[in-house]
Amino acid sequence: MGLPRHCTAMRILHLSDTHLGIERLVRGAPGGWSRADDLRQAAATALGPALRGEVDLVLHTGDLFNRSQPPPWAVADAAALLLAVARRVPVVVIPGNHDRRGLARHLPRSRRLIACDAPTRLVFGELALGVVPFVGRAEIWAEAARNVTARGVDLLLAHQAFDGAVVPGRVFRVGQEQDTVGCRHLPAGVQYVACGHIHPRQVLQVGAAAVVQPGSTERTSLVERGQTKGYAVWELGRRVTWRFVDLPGRRMVVVSSEAGIKEVRRGDLCWIAPAFWTPEVERAVSRCGGWLLGPAGPRPAPRAQRERRPERERRVIERQLDLFTPAP
């Protein structure tokens, strides 16, 4: 496997975790602009090189939508965008854990827009792809990966947490979660994996394979506010290389002090910490041009109650920063 046999270079645009259809309350945005608009714009910008004919193939490695039953308007947006790209170059889309009911039922049938709801092997000219959508158990994923790579592939597509993947406050390890994939699960000979699922961009070396994860195209949670978002461009030829391309993204700010208010810029997404929230603080953030996440409030607890708050409750509040937990 690998690509030393290729004489003609192929350029691949690799994006992932667009989470289209995210529905979250945003107050203060002009013209009804919402988080759904931000994520749609990020996906469209990421696909710009394909629309301009600058790449030969597009790979979307899962979580096209934010939920398994996306709203009709999100389906229409995704279909229109992907069909426009498919008129220029082929597009391969695989389901992620958020797309657990599959993608083929949402996307129009097209010879150049391929939704792979099941493990399969695809061939584009000299390039062979092994495709394994998200699987909830690493052993089942491993069996599917062995089957699709049995005849050899140049690039394996996946939407899994691989051993060593890092997210804020956590490192994924085989055995800790049933779906985490490690060296022992990868078929022999696989050298390159185009992967989704992990939102902070990173490259892992798992056994002999480089696992390239471009991350999400836009921030989907406040815990991602410090992360750079974008996509990857692969160059496949006598050598295999990849590079990350940044997308601007919308700033996200946690306001927990007077100094935090002064950092707010126009168009920032702002979340006011419960212990700091007052109507006056909310109005100050709005005057700075900040867009407010969530409903008004909540009002802070009395000072004595806040001072008695145990460490366990503090961790609960920290977890509340993830405002975009997927709906069941």
209-213/192-196 β-pairing: parallel
Q: Is the pTM of this model over 0.95?
A: no
Domain covering 10-247 in this structure, CATH number? 3.60.21.10
Q: How far apart are CA 12 and CA 237, in angstroms?
A: 11
Every domain of the chain and the residues it spans: 10-247, 252-319
CA-to-CA separations, 186 to 58, 120, 165, 206, 312, in angstroms, rounded:
23, 16, 15, 8, 38
The one-digit pLDDT tens for each residue of the chain (328 residues) are 444 344 468 999 999 999 999 887 789 998 878 899 999 999 999 999 999 999 999 999 999 999 999 999 999 999 999 999 999 999 999 999 999 899 999 999 899 999 999 999 999 999 999 999 999 999 999 999 999 999 999 999 999 999 999 999 999 999 999 999 999 999 999 999 999 999 999 999 999 999 999 999 999 989 999 999 999 999 998 899 999 999 999 999 999 999 999 999 999 999 999 999 999 999 999 999 999 987 776 544 444 444 444 444 334 333 333 333 333 3
